[in-house]
Amino acid sequence: MALDIEVPEPPDLSNRGMPREFEWQEETLGSEDFYREDIEDLLQEGAWKEGFNEWTEYTNLDEEHVRIISDLGLFRAFDFYWDPTEDRLRFDAPTISDDWRERNATESLDSSTVSLIDGELDDLGRAVQEELEDYLERNDEASDYGWGEETYGKREE
């Protein structure tokens, strides 16, 4: 059953450090631009809303779970970036921290619910990533976002 909830604000990608699961490789040293500002523009233009709405169609979460995610600031904690080592768009989905129970004693989530939420957040990241990729394909002029084939190459299927 699809959730009937308001779409939260897209994540703010400014002032982010190095992505969580990223390691520089010798051939990409010096390519320090993750193009987060450009990606944030695409999120603001509608990629976040479209991906979020698609996700609400098939998520296994209920409205209470979504409220918890929102209260914990997890929607805003998503990170989307261009990975220069793999030459592709990637995301880091947030997870519920291990100390969540201590910080939120009034809420009770068992470990299976935490795992469910973490998995669904990953699914949301994939849905938004797909929308971002669609936006990139539609905006193929390098002048729009500084993104172009000479910068990113063709995405291989």
* Neighbouring C-beta atoms of residue 49, cutoff 10 Å: 17
Domain ranges of the chain: 36-141
d(C-alpha 38, C-alpha 89), whole Å: 12
More confident: 152 or 71: 71
Instruction: Write phi, then psi, for 92 (nearest 5 degrees).
Output: -115, 120
Bigger pLDDT: 146 or 20?
20
Taking only the tens place, the pLDDT of each residue in 32-56 is 678 899 999 999 999 999 999 999 9
Q: What pLDDT score was predicted for residue 129? A: 97
Residue 93, C-beta contacts closer than 8 angstroms, at least 6 positions apart: 78, 118, 121, 122, 124, 125
pTM: 0.81
| 155: confidence class by pLDDT, cuts 50, 70, 90 | very low
Among positive and negative, which fits the CA dihedral 69, 73, 74, 80?
A: positive
